[in-house]
Amino acid sequence: MSILNTLSLTSYGPVIPVIVIQRLEDAVPLAQALVAGGVRVLEVTLRTACALQAMEAIARAVPEAIVGAGTLRTVEDVRAARNAGCQFGVSPGFTAEIAAACIEQGLPLLPGVSTASEVMQANAAGYSFLKLFPAVAVGGIHLLKALSGPFPDVAFCPTGGITLETAPQFLSLPNVKVCGGSWLTPQDAVDAGDWDRITRLAAEAAAIRR
């Protein structure tokens, strides 16, 4: 995987789950359930105290999974994610500092954008595959269609507010290669240890036509 290009992640399926892990003991069985449903690329967000430990546990125990760290906001986040065994990183926005740290650490980055100016900044830094976040809130499908005109060479992973029902609409756009979604790991299912439900949701997501 190229340092500046995470586009190869899209070859593993149409949806990247956005995962918030509250309890460390849920990390491995949750990842196993997703992989069993055909979802291998996993974005674990840095939003909880056990997130880094969860990433490390998944990377060690579920080799079929391609583990990425979400919510990279600082250089320290990047280093910690790499040390935890992550294979890619995702940031909610774009900064030159985050980009430089990812290059230094050899961590492929999917940077977040929400405006045309941010697309230009990320594109100028060498990134042509970007996360549109928060996708629905900033214009969703209408914005993606509008961005396709001035940026025909840029592909997107819209994330934020997308559901199983709306994902096919996003994925039908020529500049959308994959989308991010939190619906694959509902908190009530995780709390209950209902891994069969997680596997079913993953299988539904993996079967979405692009």
Active site residues: 43, 131
In contact, 44 and 16? CB cutoff 8 Å: no
Residue owning tokens 């069993």? 36
Residue type, 73: R
Residue type, 29: P
Q: Which residues contact 138 (CB under 8 A, 6 or more apart)?
A: 114, 115, 132
Cβ burial, residue 118 (10 Å; 0-12/13-18/19+): middle
State the Cα angle at 127 between 126 and 131, rounded to 5°. 165
Phi, psi angle pair for 32, to nearest 5°: -65, -40
In contact, 175 and 148? CB cutoff 8 Å: yes
CA distance 32 to 28: 6
Residue type, 15: V
Handedness of CA 85, 180, 40, 152 (dihedral sign): negative
